[in-house]
């Protein structure tokens, strides 16, 4: 299934996305696309619904973040060896783990706010994992079962905040609007191999990132298993898994986002995002 949330910010409703791209409202069956809706039992119940019986969503609408009430927004850094090389680093022997603030979560076509004082605003197309059941000390087989589905994340990063302002990466990763997710949550049964999905990102019509999840060093099931050794994971948690080469800081010379710039990005089977950068007020 492809699941989505639509409507104005803070008033999103759950929806089923058909193969024709049409949305059908799920409000009569679930309250929202959140942790309570992502259990194996609930997803099975939803998959049994005849979509033709669901109300069609017509007219213009906004896609909201594809998961509501996210408890943890976890990211894996330097998970593509070629991206690590372009940033002048090496892939570490264990995954780099950092957090984005849940307040950074944004709709897939909502504007990206360039923060006050930002000088090095950057982009990162990433595959994100959505957790569907409680996970703690899981092996990889158990971890794979706990994955409800996948979505796109644009891991927006302010490199000066991240690298030059001392401390950990959080300051450059968790600003408001720095975590667009969606447009859809695609359930695991529809993704035959999450470690073989093409992905790309363009800025102002020029393609900078073009890669494939096959070059990830640490794959989704391993990532979930690994994280579960340090913290429990709950339904609705989101884990973004790293980016291929082509980010702004890796260009020669580096290129960073300015107000008015437009990004478009996508991952095979997971849809596309499009954002414009605006200046903070």
User: What are the structural domains, with CATH classification, of the chain?
Assistant: 2-53 (no CATH), 73-279 (3.90.850.10)
Mean pLDDT of 19-33: 95
Please report which confidence band the pLDDT of residue 280 belongs to, taking 50, 70 and 90 as the band edges: very high
Residue among 248, 243, 249, 187 nearest 217 (CA): 243
Q: Does pLDDT of 83 surpass 80?
A: no
- Greater model confidence, 172 or 21: 172
Task: Please provide the DSSP assignment of 128-166 as one string.
Answer: EEEE-S-BSS--HHHHHHTEEEEEEEE--EEHIIIIISS
pLDDT tens digits, 178-205: 999 999 999 999 999 999 999 999 999 9
Average per-residue pLDDT for the chain: 96
Q: Which of 40-44, 138-142, 167-171 has the lowest mean pLDDT?
A: 167-171
Please report which confidence band the pLDDT of residue 89 belongs to, taking 50, 70 and 90 as the band edges: confident
Please report which confidence band the pLDDT of residue 279 belongs to, taking 50, 70 and 90 as the band edges: very high
Please report which confidence band the pLDDT of residue 167 belongs to, taking 50, 70 and 90 as the band edges: confident
Burial class from Cβ neighbours inside 10 Å (0-12, 13-18, 19+) for residue 193 reads exposed
CA distances to 45, 134, 180 from 40, in Å: 9, 11, 25
Mean pLDDT of 25-36: 97
Q: What is the Cα–Cα distance from 274 to 110, expressed in whole angstroms?
A: 8
Which residues are CB-contacts of 208 (< 8 A; sequence separation ≥ 6)? 123, 201, 202, 246, 247, 248, 251, 255
Burial class from Cβ neighbours inside 10 Å (0-12, 13-18, 19+) for residue 265 reads buried
What confidence score (pLDDT) does residue 57 get? 96
- Greater model confidence, 24 or 167: 24
Mean pLDDT of 222-234: 98
- Greater model confidence, 81 or 41: 41
User: Bridge partners of 259?
Assistant: none
CA distances to 114, 223, 269 from 138, in Å: 38, 11, 27
Instruction: Count other Cβ atoms within 10 Å, centred on residue 1.
Output: 18
Q: Does pLDDT of 9 surpass 80?
A: yes
Q: Does pLDDT of 168 surpass 90?
A: no
Residue among 235, 230, 122, 143 nearest 194 (CA): 143
What confidence score (pLDDT) does residue 20 get? 86
Report residue 150 CA to chain centroid gap. Answer: 8
Structure tokens at 272: 């596309």
Q: Does pLDDT of 90 surpass 90?
A: no
What confidence score (pLDDT) does residue 86 get? 75
Q: Using the 8-state DSSP alphabet, how is residue 56 labeled?
A: B
Mean pLDDT of 240-249: 96
Which residues are CB-contacts of 10 (< 8 A; sequence separation ≥ 6)? none
Please report which confidence band the pLDDT of residue 88 belongs to, taking 50, 70 and 90 as the band edges: confident
Q: What is the Cα–Cα distance from 85 to 250, expressed in whole angstroms?
A: 9
Name the one residue in this structure whose structure tokens are 């096959």. Answer: 214
- In this prediction the pTM is 0.96
């Amino acid at each position: 299934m492809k699941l989505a949330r639509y409507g104005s910010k803070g008033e999103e409703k759950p929806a089923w996305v058909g193969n024709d791209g049409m949305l059908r409202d799920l409000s009569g069956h679930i309250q929202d696309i959140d942790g309570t809706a992502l259990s194996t039992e609930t997803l099975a119940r939803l998959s049994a619904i005849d979509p033709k019986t669901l109300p069609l969503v017509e007219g213009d609408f906004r896609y909201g973040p594809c998961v509501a009430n996210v408890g943890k927004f976890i990211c894996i850094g330097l998970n593509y060896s070629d991206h690590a090389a372009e940033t002048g680093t090496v892939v570490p022997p264990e995954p780099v783990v950092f957090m984005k603030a849940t307040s950074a979560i944004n709709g897939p076509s909502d504007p990206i706010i360039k923060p006050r004082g930002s000088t090095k605003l950057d982009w990162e197309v990433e595959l994100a994992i959505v957790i569907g059941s409680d996970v703690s000390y899981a092996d990889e087989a158990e971890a794979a079962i706990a994955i409800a589905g996948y979505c796109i994340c644009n891991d927006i990063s302010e490199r000066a905040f991240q690298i030059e302002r001392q401390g950990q990466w959080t300051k450059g990763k968790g600003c408001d609007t720095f975590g667009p997710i969606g447009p859809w949550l695609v359930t695991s049964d529809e993704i035959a191999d999450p470690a073989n999905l093409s992905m790309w990102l363009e800025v102002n019509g020029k393609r900078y990132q073009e890669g494939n999840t096959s070059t990830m060093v640490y794959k989704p099931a391993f990532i979930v298993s690994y994280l579960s050794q340090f913290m429990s994971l709950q339904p609705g948690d989101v884990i973004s898994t790293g980016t291929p080469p082509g980010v702004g800081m890796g260009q020669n010379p580096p290129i960073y986002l300015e107000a008015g710039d437009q990004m478009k990005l996508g991952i095979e089977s997971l849809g596309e995002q499009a954002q414009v950068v605006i200046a903070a007020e």
